[in-house]
Amino acid sequence: MKEFFEENERTAPATDARKYVEVGPLDTKSGGRLPSVKVAYETWGELSPARDNAMLICHAVSGDSHAIGWWGKLIGPGKAIDTDRYFVIGNNLLGGCQGSTGPSSLAEDGQPYGSRFPIITIEDMVEVQYRLVQALGIHGLHAVIGGSMGCFLALEWARRQPLPVRKVFASAGCPRSNAMHIGFHETARQAILRDPQWRGGDYLPHKQPADGLAVARMIGHLTYLSPAAFETKFGRRMVETKEHSTCSLPVFQVESYLKHQGEGFTKRFDANSFLSISRAMDQYDVPHLKGAKSEFLFASFTSDWMYPPALSEELHQMALAAGCRSRHVIADLPFGHDSFLLDGEIQARALSEFLSNRSK
């Protein structure tokens, strides 16, 4: 079980290599305003003299700027996203809690935004990313890459083209959250909202609604793996522990796993950020890719019951209808939605070939 924990978790950085840039005030799509926005980011590799080898990595709901840690199967020297060849940018999204402006950031009065943080959208997040890329002196991207929710950001880059984007890779994505996705997200949000420590969103930093946030993460993990993966990894096996039972009876391994994931999440994430980002994800919708000028690669996984291949196929057909070159790779892997993080072979081969081909 320990090996599964290790392969299914992000690799934290040995040292904090985050950098920060202020990108000015932001008027959000919802009508809110942030007087100043800070972005936390990290980079790997060197920007070429022509400044044409930069790529942006877009993270999922709980991700951060340390892309080489949470997507280590794809990013690094000699890997598909080769940091010896490309200048790779990872950033913590607007609304996050790992250095970029979010609900836990201090407002002008010196207090956390909390419930005062405005409603944000995927479009707002991309606007902030665009300003970051501009601040780095980059005027075009070789690629924008995202997995899970990160696909929404990559697609929005292709749709808006605030800067030229040669290629877009979207793994385990969809054109919009469907009713089931929204239902899971809302159930997770309700776990937070019903925690006594919620206090309308204006909780103290050291007294966040940790119990609700832990349950929200547990709900998320139920969607990340396939039923077959749960059965293979856990089945009905038991573990000895006193943590779940007043009578010290053994508990199921899957119970221990979910508790482990929930508690660990509360140590690195903020409840308000979860609410803000998940709502932005639910609101986003890609009706078409008209106007996009990028080349696309979509990857999906047969065991991903939350984001099955049919949803990536819909995006692939949108790209073709828009006159763009596009390819859809379907990987037959048993890990469920987390396949996009765990697969370092099938999607890696397709991605390496896609990025190396400079025909467009």
Q: Which two tokens stand for residue 56?
A: 């942006």
Query: Alpha-carbon distance 339 to 145, whole Å?
Result: 16
Query: In 3D, which of 146, 64, 185, 158 has the Cα closest to residue 341?
Result: 146
Full DSSP string of 227-241: HHHHHHHTTT-EE--
C-alpha Rg value of the chain to the nearest Å? 20
H helices within the chain, ranges in order?
2-7, 67-70, 122-135, 149-160, 179-193, 210-224, 227-233, 253-266, 271-283, 309-321, 339-342, 346-356
Give me the catalytic one of 82, 195, 304, 343. Answer: 304
Whether 93 contacts 60, CB under 8 Å: no
Q: Which residue has the tokens 């959250």?
A: 177
The identity of residue 86, as a single letter, is Y
Give me the catalytic one of 104, 148, 226, 300. Answer: 148
CA 143 to chain centre: 17
Query: Alpha-carbon distance 211 to 262, whole Å?
Result: 8
Catalytic site residue 206?
no
The identity of residue 242, as a single letter, is K
Whether 174 contacts 309, CB under 8 Å: no
Catalytic site residue 304?
yes
Give me the catalytic one of 276, 337, 338, 343. Answer: 337
CA 321 to chain centre: 27
Query: Alpha-carbon distance 321 to 315, whole Å?
Result: 10
Give catalytic residues, as residue numbers: 148, 304, 337
